[in-house]
């Protein structure tokens, strides 16, 4: 016995056929036809959707015949509700870009770390693509140091974060500098954690401030000698005793919050406390033969 069909069986299709489609809407449908110049999509609507080749992809390697198959599901944005032949004109590129910008904004909010490949050199920076969107990396955001030749970066893969994602103005800016700074700080903390209080070493004065001098200890480490720890004598300013470039001997007196506190004064204090004891020769046991009479024979009472 054949089952009878009712209007409820076509409820979804009927509702879809009566809905209003407007320019800018994002629709999802099934590919039902592929030609050399366009893709036909079933939208479960009163008419079909058409995606022209130029509106499907910007990828130079894209082939409409090889990369699109009947039965594929595709999401596209409505460009026009009537292409002049009664079809809805769609753009897969526009829909992909819209979704890409939403993803990029999320990357910005989440501070997501991305690996990108530098694909081009422009004035004052380089270009890399994320989610198919062209992103700009300023030269000042490529490295912790000054970048002399941008050509050296072409083709390199680098880790970046999104620092600007502006869909309205189609502006995407990326940066590697924050990640590099964070990595350098982690490496410095790891090195400092291996430094013990009491260590005596040499370093070079790298800068002088009113409150003390920063000493470069090498291997990426530096520490502060407070003005009170520079000399045994009270001095008003570090530059009375030190100048940039001087090689000095210092002692680590504290390691706290990832910072090294150094002292030159402590080395002088230690030297002052070192007392050279007088050497006393103690005779061997067999030499101790002196009697009490021998000790007192020359004493007159």
Q: What is the mean pLDDT of each run of 10 residues along the chain (301 residues)?
A: 54 58 91 95 92 86 89 94 91 90 95 93 92 91 92 94 94 95 85 85 93 89 91 88 92 87 83 42 44 48 44
Q: Is residue 102 part of a domain?
A: no
Q: Is residue 105 part of a domain?
A: no
The per-residue pLDDT for 132 is 81
82 with 124, same domain: the answer is no
The per-residue pLDDT for 15 is 57
The per-residue pLDDT for 301 is 44
Q: List the beta strands (DSSP E) in the chain.
A: 26-34, 38-42, 49-52, 73-80, 88-91, 114-117, 120-122, 125-130, 133-138, 157-166, 171-175, 200-209, 212-218, 221-226, 247-256, 259-263
86 with 133, same domain: the answer is no
Q: What is the DSSP letter of 199?
A: -
Burial class of residue 263 (count of CB atoms within 10 Å of its CB; 0-12, 13-18, 19+): buried
The per-residue pLDDT for 90 is 95
Q: Is residue 66 part of a domain?
A: yes
Record the tokens describing residue 121, joined without a space: 């050199």
CATH value at residue 154:
2.40.50.140
Q: Is residue 298 part of a domain?
A: no
**Residue 158: CB atoms within 10 Å:** 19
Burial class of residue 75 (count of CB atoms within 10 Å of its CB; 0-12, 13-18, 19+): middle
Helix and strand element counts for the chain (H, E): 6, 16
Q: Is residue 39 part of a domain?
A: yes
The per-residue pLDDT for 268 is 76
Spatial contact of 193 and 182, defined as CB atoms under 8 Å apart: no
Spatial contact of 267 and 250, defined as CB atoms under 8 Å apart: yes
Q: How far apart are CA 188 and CA 78, in angstroms?
A: 54
Q: Which domain holds residue 116?
A: 111-180
The per-residue pLDDT for 17 is 52
Q: What is the DSSP letter of 300?
A: -
The per-residue pLDDT for 77 is 93
The per-residue pLDDT for 12 is 56
Count of the separate structural domains present in the chain: 3
24 with 84, same domain: the answer is yes
The per-residue pLDDT for 131 is 86
């Amino acid at each position: 016995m054949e089952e009878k069909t009712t209007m409820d069986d076509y409820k979804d299709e009927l509702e879809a056929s009566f809905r209003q489609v407007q320019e800018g809407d994002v629709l999802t449908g099934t590919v039902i036809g592929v030609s050399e110049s366009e893709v036909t999509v079933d939208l479960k609507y009163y008419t079909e959707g058409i995606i022209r080749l130029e509106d499907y992809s910007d990828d130079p390697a894209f082939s409409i015949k090889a990369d699109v198959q009947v039965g594929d599901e595709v999401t596209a944005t409505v460009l026009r509700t009537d292409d002049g032949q009664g079809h809805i004109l769609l753009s897969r590129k526009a829909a992909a870009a819209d979704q890409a910008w939403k993803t990029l904004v999320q990357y910005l909010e989440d501070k997501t770390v991305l690996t990108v490949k530098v694909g081009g050199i422009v004035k004052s920076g380089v270009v890399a693509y994320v989610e198919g969107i062209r992103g700009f990396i300023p030269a000042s955001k490529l490295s912790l140091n000054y970048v002399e030749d941008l050509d050296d970066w072409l083709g390199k893969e680098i880790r970046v974060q999104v620092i600007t994602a502006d869909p309205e103005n189609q502006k995407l800016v990326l940066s590697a500098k924050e990640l590099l700074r964070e990595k350098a700080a982690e490496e410095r903390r790891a090195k400092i954690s291996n430094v013990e209080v009491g260590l005596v070493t040499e370093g070079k004065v790298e800068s002088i401030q009113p409150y003390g001098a920063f000493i470069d200890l090498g291997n990426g480490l530096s520490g502060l000698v407070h003005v009170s720890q520079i000399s045994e004598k009270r001095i008003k300013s570090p530059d009375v005793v030190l100048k940039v470039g001087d090689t000095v001997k210092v002692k680590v007196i504290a390691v706290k919050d990832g910072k090294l506190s150094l002292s030159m004064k402590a080395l002088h204090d230690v030297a002052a406390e070192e007392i050279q004891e007088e050497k006393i020769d103690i005779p061997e046991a067999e030499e101790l033969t002196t009697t009490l009479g021998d000790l007192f024979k020359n004493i007159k009472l």
